Amino acid sequence: MHQDELRRGQWLEEEDESLVMIIAMLGERRWDALAKASGLRRSGKSCRLRWLNYLRPNLKHGHITAGEEHLIIQLQKQFGNKWSKIAEQLPGRTDNEIKNYWKSHLRKKALTYKQESFGSNTSNSEQQSSTLKSDTVPSSHSDDSFSGKGDCSSADSLAYSSNDTTLLDWIPSWSYEQSRMEHHMYFCSSNLCFCYPP
């Protein structure tokens, strides 16, 4: 009876193998059909996620490097919480991975920085906190500023984040150009730069 119920939770090695095999045969599409064809008692959605976040070839599974962290910070400042967009710039990393990293590592850094700077500049912090109250990125805001025809100079005006402290709060001294330079120092020097324009 319960045979037909979908499985949830951690994936087993056998499930991974079956999924890889069926994707090799059918390709990365029609996830519901693919899930059924595989014989796995998983939803198509679950299969897709497992593939994209874990099984896909060329994924990096190691720690986020300092250079990647730097880039994430910069891109988050630029794009807000558009994790998939950020992930595009970090080959081998998934949006989920970046999102998790942001929440667990970088948010903490942001808060620490904020606390440190709080004592020295109260009025400024108050002003910043009022900016943060909006909690999430107003969609129109992000889209509009962004459609800036690739004009990244507008990035500095994107003083927002999700419910977290914006990076602009803790790296206030970073200009976009500065960060861009640093990013290039990290990546371009080792032919790892995928940013655009190059």
Partner DNA sequence: AATGTCTCCAACCGCTGTAAT
Partner DNA sequence: CATTACAGCGGTTGGAGACAT
Which residues contribute to the site for DNA (CB under 7 A)? 7-11, 28-33, 42, 44-46, 48-50, 53-54, 61, 81-85, 95-97, 99-101, 103-105, 108, 136, 162-163
Which residue lies nearer to DNA by CB, 100 or 178?
A: 100
* 136 contacts 82 by C-beta, under 8 angstroms: no
Which residue lies nearer to DNA by CB, 126 or 143?
A: 143
Q: CA 142, CA 132: separation in Å to the nearest integer?
A: 15
Least Cβ distance, residue 150 to DNA (angstroms): 18
Least Cβ distance, residue 165 to DNA (angstroms): 14
Least Cβ distance, residue 85 to DNA (angstroms): 6
Which residue lies nearer to DNA by CB, 81 or 165?
A: 81
Which residue lies nearer to DNA by CB, 114 or 188?
A: 114
Least Cβ distance, residue 50 to DNA (angstroms): 5
3-state secondary structure at position 1 = coil
Contacts of 19 (CB under 8 A, 6+ apart): 38, 40, 47, 50, 51, 55
Alpha-helix runs per DSSP H in 52-175: 66-79, 83-88, 95-101, 107-118, 122-132, 139-146, 167-170
